[in-house]
Structure 1
């Protein structure tokens, strides 16, 4: 009976919905995480010569799992190397092993013993080069964010700060402050087409389009908020409602299979 397969498709879709919601809930406190939702389509048995008044449904299928890149709540941390983006941009990072460029909304940066700025996922932060006055010298390409441990006078590095305009300043023991670069923000034509690769990192695809690098506060990339981090955009109350709905859908499809089984058993008993 086709009703078995129709209800089975509903069970599978409900399971996908449950898995997606569970993933959202599990990352409700993950910095820079973006929630996802499942989109479904119906299936019908229909041909060019079939009667439209007798079209039979065959269940449903997953159309896509869509990412939601709406802005999450901003938490003030007061930490100098914490930066949030108030806009659509992404921080660009480089995988030091594969040299692949990734993109993230998690602005929790750390300074390595060699002066390299890394994300919490151990990706090398990317920036635009600047001159001694902090003016960007080129936006054609990004470079690794590296802070010199000593300045030209031989003074040791004492502190690193990131301003709202993206300028990375290095303070030294002799009281001097030197700009070493300016953070690069990447934007995409269709961010929903980005592929998640884990650790709140994404990579661009043909669906998302190539990254366009911008200076902070210029264009739709957005402005930077120093001493702050963007929280996950997961709404627990909304996810719990979705969880109950997915559970009810699963139970209803299971009940439909049980009813179809009873029909089949009745027919078998009649034949006997």
Structure 2
């Protein structure tokens, strides 16, 4: 009997050592929650047993209790690293059953499709929201993997350009004669007075080369104080077809534009391009572009990402204002110790844990979400090492009890012989 009692002590001490070693091994695991083993004593009872002379039968492992305490939060600077400050778990799509799983480990990143995943490839779940951050649903069934597009918007070719220029009041730029004796030729700088490149977009939103040329056709004389420039365009090295009405800009003696108002539409194989020079002037300053605007659009790339304390994910594309694309969902349980651990600091619900209570960061019963930080393991290494020494002594004591019991049994056997 004493041998069996000593064996239960050995098994209990071994379980304690194994659990403590597991805690120590995960001291660097993000979001890890330490555990402890709980034991109960064994008694063999019968209706005829005398309670005053009962002797116990050893010990047994009752449960492994997880200690859900806040771990230290360390700053990482990575927007996809999330730390929970307070109770709750991140809700994930994946886990042992392919269903939902729960974890406090918030080291997330993006997969090739832009979905937010953890190191195991499980998707971070969130609620749908409007672009201003207003929640569209709090129904747990509406939770979906949070997906962040790398680009947004649709590409559109430039169809209109607004160009506000300043022309010098005197001189003819590079042009050899006024009017030009050789006719306009984009390859001959002496055939035009001034030129300026224009940054416009093709149908795919990609920049293409376009140049506006200005050929001086008239300058102030005894009969007129006006200066006139003919407009020519080239698109990817080829001259564009001008409109039927000669595209000319006219300025009076005061530098005010008196002709050339309204759109001028040029055409090429890629389509029409409408120019508007309203606002241009002539002065004593050098030729310059005072303002340039074009209506083409390119796909806007993700330029910034922020995750608020309530879990709303704000994405900025290009220079536009940030838009909300989802809200991180959190879960909590009436009995977190009833959760089943499946590795990687991840759990799945069981009948003992109960159904999850779903909510968002900062709500009642849930901690706040801190972006750019991670929750470390809540293992106290010093305390675990001290406990390991205690467990080792318990093991040695049980081994000594087993040795003593074996020695007594051997003595009895020797007496019989």
Residues 1:96 and 1:249: Cα distance change in structure 2 (over 3 Å): closer
- 1:38 — aligned with what? 37
Aligned residues: 271
How do 1:260-271 residues align onto structure 2 when only pairs under 5 Å count?
260-271=405-416
Structure 1 position 148 matched with structure 2 position 149? yes
Unaligned runs of 5+ in 1: none
- 1:128 — aligned with what? 127
In structure 2, what is the Cα distance between the partners aligned to 1:97 and 1:172?
36
Q: Offset of 1:56 from its aligned partner?
A: 1.8
Which is richer in helix?
Answer: 1
Residues 1:258 and 1:97: Cα distance change in structure 2 (over 3 Å): closer
Two-structure CA RMSD over aligned residues (Å): 1.5
Q: Among 346, 352, 357, which residue is 1:212 paired with? A: 357
Residues 1:174 and 1:98: Cα distance change in structure 2 (over 3 Å): farther
* TM-score for the superposition, normalised by structure 1: 0.96
Give SS of 2:52's match: helix
- 1:235 — aligned with what? 380
Q: Offset of 1:96 from its aligned partner?
A: 8.3
Larger of the two Rg values belongs to structure? 2
Structure 1 position 60 matched with structure 2 position 205? no
Structure 1 position 195 matched with structure 2 position 340? yes
Q: Among 296, 305, 308, which residue is 1:163 paired with? A: 308
How do 1:48-87 residues align onto structure 2 when only pairs under 5 Å count?
48-87=47-86
* TM-score for the superposition, normalised by structure 2: 0.63
In structure 2, what is the Cα distance between the partners aligned to 1:100 and 1:32?
21
Give SS of 1:54's match: coil
In structure 1, what is the Cα distance between the partners aligned to 2:67 and 2:342?
16
Q: Offset of 1:97 from its aligned partner?
A: 9.4
Unaligned runs of 5+ in 2: 155-298
In structure 2, what is the Cα distance between the partners aligned to 1:25 and 1:236?
6
Give SS of 1:16's match: helix
Contact 1:114 1:149 in 2 (8 A): no
Give SS of 1:220's match: coil
Give SS of 2:152's match: coil
Residues 1:243 and 1:96: Cα distance change in structure 2 (over 3 Å): closer
